[in-house]
Structure 1
């Protein structure tokens, strides 16, 4: 039996398989409100055999958006736009997760296909960014250091967004603590130069993440899984390390997280990454620590046998893919066919199942 297409239960949720869709920003929202594009984009993966689909990074406050075109969940209008998308995913047999995020010093930037690069000026609709310290990401405008009151506001915003997500019907809540965004900025000594209770030691640098986990777990109750996506290394000297990531992951689980979604990088422009198929899988294995912490692996996982081997090797409990789902929205159906696994197909597609 294929491990990739075996079920996985976390709290009260049973995932039909372990081949999942990573959060991928579409830069197509209007005032944080998702559009018809998002409905079509996300539901196609449910038809394509995904067990779990996690939405793009969804800002918990307006100033937490990566770009002015990012999705949000800081008001009820945004919640109501997500609800029919979640229903459509469920109707197609998949589960829906949302990635709650705050971009910190990497907010207020131009979307990838814009003519401009770097930070969006206030005159062009941008805003002042905030971060643990007033240290800019290379090429971006400098942020202001968040004071204690604004940190409390961020924690409250994650809590409120989590509540709206559950009201919209989401099955999984993922907290974005990776890719150089706000929570990752607090975790890394390259971006966190604070000398208060949120800076210095690893315990202090992890404080914001753990307080957010506490807040979201309080909303999620006993039944809803809470994931945390981390960058397990900054790929830069003096930055956040895999060993620190494993420790912080243990703390997050102790505070109520159920699974660590292991990625890497994104904090600094001078990172040096050896990119190759499955290059981040060893990081997941380090964090997993012989199965004590449930983890997912991600990073150039593009083939059925490759994903199956990640699970067979005990490196992860499930696999996220991103670009491969964009290339082939029916990646799950194809992977199951290649592995000889039997999974439900849309009745409209069954003529293509075997030949």
Structure 2
């Protein structure tokens, strides 16, 4: 037991006197009867990798290696001394020596002299040492020393590999319509509108008081110039007001290009139904005559994500597409391979979100876009 404790103490002192040995660390755990040696390797996986944008979480890394154990506790006091062994057996008695000879007797007349004393016989040889007594019982084990202080925290493992990018999540529900944005800057004044009809002649006013004689009046040409200047100012105000009303009428589902406004109510129907509704509203089905007007209609298609019927068809003559007023179209933006008059029933024209045209059966239902 003493040898085992000494070995564990030596290992503990050697481990605490040196720096941690990466990537391996030595740990010891003193049990009641023995010391065990545990070798720990570095973590195969470190901390978890970062998730993929809008993806699933990567695997969690394993816990880092345990820190170096604290110093070994104080060795307990020695056990009690065992009982004394039994005394050895008494050695055998030595052999008695021979008796010495008697001295000569003296003459009777004379007192005989005392004889020389007999020397004592030599002592017998010393007996052999008796056998050693039995070994006493082992003393009780001393109390266990106090638990050493907790060792320092082990080093953090290396970060794990970056996780794979998560799969793209399902498309979320369509969000609610956002609040109305700030009003944009005032656009350029639109073209001058047609001159309105002359109003009824007003009643003749009462004759005013006669004024004082004024200075010589302006010439007729100067008077005309002043009137024209005043009319131009009034016209600018009217144009600005008209532009404002046009924007209000077109918001949020309309577009204005030049002097044309393209508006939708969200209604869907076949070609004849849509044409009648636009006529009843005072307009006609949208009929783009250039790229700018086509782009304006395309924006409405993108906003509603629905194709739109245009005011163009070849109902009268197959392959000759015309506007609703009978004029041959001067602008087109056909999809590649179109028009193809599939199954001989495609006489109307629709516009897709990419702005391209396709011939389509007039009985299909499409989003209404009127032109004013």
Report the TM-score range of the alignment, normalised by the length of the smaller protein: under 0.3
Q: What TM-score, normalized to structure 1?
A: 0.19
Structure scoring higher RCO (CA < 8 A, sep ≥ 6) equals: 1
The structure that is helix-richer by fraction is 1
Q: What TM-score, normalized to structure 2?
A: 0.18
In terms of Rg, which structure is larger? 2
